[in-house]
Amino acid sequence: YFSSPLIEWTIILFMFLAGVNFALHFFALRQRNPLVYFKNAEFKVYVLIILLATLLVFISLHEKWNWAGLEATFRAACFQIIAIVTTTGFATADFDLWPPLATTVILLMMFVGGCSGSTGGSVKPGRYMIIGHRTVIELKKMVHPKAIYPLRFGGRFIREDLLINVLQFFFLYILFFAAGFATLSALGLDLISSISAAATCLGNIGPGLNLVGPTRNFSLLPDVAKYVLSILMLVGRLEIYPVLVLFMPEFWRD
């Protein structure tokens, strides 16, 4: 609508900042030192994911369609990747028409989310980092079964109960996603629409692909599908545990 590269780059900047841990903003402002950001491991992974995803989409668009200019192509890729990763949900192009590689990357970004302590939803890079570190430790233990490898994240040791919490959250997230898209498929939606609708609603992202693409909306879906997606949005925004605990009898007892 604005038809202004400057406005789009301004929105890109603030979407990116909103996906950063707000504690980092606080410390950077208080210490007047922007290097605070780059001392945070999750922030570096967050930036790396955005850069790699943007590069893949840019290459896909440039090779397939050869858009009007490099800057316009890069801006479109950057805007859409950051909008999806930060779960802002904005769109400046119909990415549903983009090449398969670009739409695949966008679909994968729906499972990333902003940093911990940000306004973003979805899984968040910090959880992936903890799971990844634990995976490496388990592989090392297969070689050295008696060795003890402490799990560290951001220079701190991760307690076993926190690790279990992260693993359980990821398992439940995938479980709700699978249940959601399986239900939507059973209601007659095609596979891509079902997967993207479940992913975008569980992550509170906004647009999906095909029937729920950026130039369409959810109004044409069956009523049952809307109820299912409403539940996924609620569960995803509250990060699963607060919703599930309501169904435990112990919660309602004095």
pLDDT value at residue 1: 64
pLDDT value at residue 34: 87
> 3-class SS at 34?
helix
Alpha helices (H) in the chain, listed in sequence order: 5-18, 22-31, 41-64, 70-85, 100-109, 125-143, 160-186, 191-202, 223-237, 241-244, 249-252
pLDDT value at residue 67: 57
pLDDT value at residue 155: 73
Quote the CA–CA distance of 206 and 178 in Å, as a whole number. Answer: 18
Quote the CA–CA distance of 185 and 64 in Å, as a whole number. Answer: 30
Quote the CA–CA distance of 81 and 63 in Å, as a whole number. Answer: 18
Buried b (16+ CB within 10 A) or exposed e, 228-243: bbebbbebbbeebeee
Average pLDDT, 10 consecutive residues per value, the chain (254 residues): 87 95 92 89 94 95 74 93 94 91 95 90 91 89 85 79 90 96 94 95 93 91 95 93 89 80
pLDDT value at residue 101: 93
pLDDT value at residue 70: 86
CA atoms in the 13 A half-sphere facing the CB of 17: 10
pLDDT value at residue 149: 82
